């Protein structure tokens, strides 16, 4: 079985870690990572050296790594000094990007250093910017600026508009047995990936089982007031209709009162899992998905088994006990 997971931010590494723990070693994973990040360390390295933003790629590689925990911690370590603290892993990827034959080769070399047998691909190797068209008629350019746009988002797009998918991306989507989208920042991670030319179309045409993991919380300036229906509507606006999905996974873990109050003060609220679709597809899967603690985050050990089960349901070898 081959599972392809798309997105970025903090959500995609959780999916990858969960899949890698619960899929047998013979099952392969491909991560397709947004290339539009322009904030923080990634943004600085991108502007100064002209490289692909390394942060999301770094986190995905670490989620799939087979190295001592100290090595993973060292790659996440940020040295003090200067206006921006660069994680060691970002500097490694930047250096590899500058000396390797191409960006995909640079990521493959980093993966070899970390014992990663799976594949991590950028959505595009072109230097792109994310643009949000707002409902008030304005447009905001830059992934890090979009949440500060001050109006609801109508859609996002990539500039240049003719930016093509990275080598191997469309092939991975067409050959996958299962596709997983989310969780993650809806517009600036998930839809930034779908906005690359050909990606949404390849997902729709793929014979794979298609799974959307809905966010547990809204994000201020991006998905204010969104429920499951609004998340699905945004996917449809960007070329992935609800009927193209097989499953929508939504969280039912209660948010503790203190955590809820802290998020509310930041303009975020839980996404209501009580949602009914008019047709048979997609199937809504409700489950306890979150880690305990002060941060609302999906737990790899809760999400992983569910994704593995859904991904393998239509596979013959799932019934034979080879996967799942």
Q: Taken in order 6, 11, 16, 22, is the CA torsion positive or negative?
A: negative
Judge whether 114 and 122 are in contact, CB under 8 Å. Answer: no
Reported pTM: 0.95
Domain-by-domain residue ranges, the chain? 2-35+123-319
Q: Which residue has the tokens 């499951």?
A: 228
Query: Smallest Cα–Cα separation from 282: which of 244, 233, 250, 229?
Result: 244
| pLDDT tens-digit map of 256-266 | 999 999 999 99
Does the pLDDT value for residue 322 go beyond 50? no
Smallest CA-to-CA distance from 54 within 15, 100, 17 is with 100
Chain mean pLDDT for the chain: 94
| CATH code, residues 2-35+123-319 | 3.40.50.10680
Tens of pLDDT, residues 222-259: 999 999 999 999 999 999 999 999 999 999 999 999 99
Q: 139-141 and 129-134: which strand pairing?
A: antiparallel
pLDDT for position 276 = 81
State how far the Cα of 266 lies from the Cα of 219, in Å rounded to an integer.
9
* pLDDT per position as a tens digit, 5-55: 999 999 999 999 999 999 999 999 999 999 999 999 999 999 999 999 999
Query: So what's the pLDDT on residue 278?
Result: 74
Position 283 pLDDT exceeds 60:
yes
Residue 104: in which H helix or E strand, if any?
A: helix 103-113
Select the more confidently predicted residue: 164 or 324.
164
What integer pLDDT is reported at residue 113 of this predicted model?
A: 97
Other beta carbons within 10 angstroms of residue 23's beta carbon come to 23
């Amino acid at each position: 079985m081959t599972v392809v997971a798309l997105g970025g931010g903090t959500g995609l590494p959780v999916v990858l870690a969960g899949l890698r723990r619960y899929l047998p070693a013979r099952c392969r994973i491909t991560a397709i990572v947004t290339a539009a990040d322009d904030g923080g360390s990634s943004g600085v390295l991108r502007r100064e050296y002209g490289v692909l933003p390394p942060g999301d790629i770094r986190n995905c590689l670490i989620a799939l790594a087979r190295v001592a925990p100290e090595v993973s911690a060292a790659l996440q370590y940020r040295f003090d000094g200067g206006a921006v603290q660069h994680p060691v892993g970002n500097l490694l990827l930047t250096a590899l990007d500058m000396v390797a034959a191409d960006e995909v080769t640079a990521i493959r070399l980093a993966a070899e250093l970390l014992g990663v047998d799976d594949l991590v691909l950028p959505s595009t190797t072109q230097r792109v910017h994310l643009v949000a068209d707002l409902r008030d008629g304005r447009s905001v350019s830059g992934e890090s600026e979009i949440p500060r746009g001050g109006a609801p988002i109508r859609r996002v797009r990539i500039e240049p508009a003719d930016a093509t998918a990275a080598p191997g991306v469309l092939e991975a989507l067409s050959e996958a047995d299962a596709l997983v989208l989310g969780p993650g920042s809806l517009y600036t991670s998930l839809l930034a990936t779908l906005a690359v030319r050909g990606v949404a179309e390849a997902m729709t045409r793929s014979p794979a089982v298609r799974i959307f993991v809905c966010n547990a919380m809204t994000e201020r300036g991006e998905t204010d007031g969104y429920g499951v229906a609004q998340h699905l509507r945004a996917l449809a606006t960007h070329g992935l209709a609800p009927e193209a999905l097989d499953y929508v996974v939504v969280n039912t873990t209660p948010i503790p009162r203190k955590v809820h109050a802290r998020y509310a003060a930041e303009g975020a609220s839980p996404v209501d899992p009580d949602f009914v679709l008019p047709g048979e597809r997609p199937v809504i899967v409700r489950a306890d998905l979150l880690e305990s603690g002060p941060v609302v985050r999906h737990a790899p050990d809760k999400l992983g088994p569910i994704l593995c089960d859904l991904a393998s349901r239509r596979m013959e070898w799932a019934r034979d006990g080879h996967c799942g």
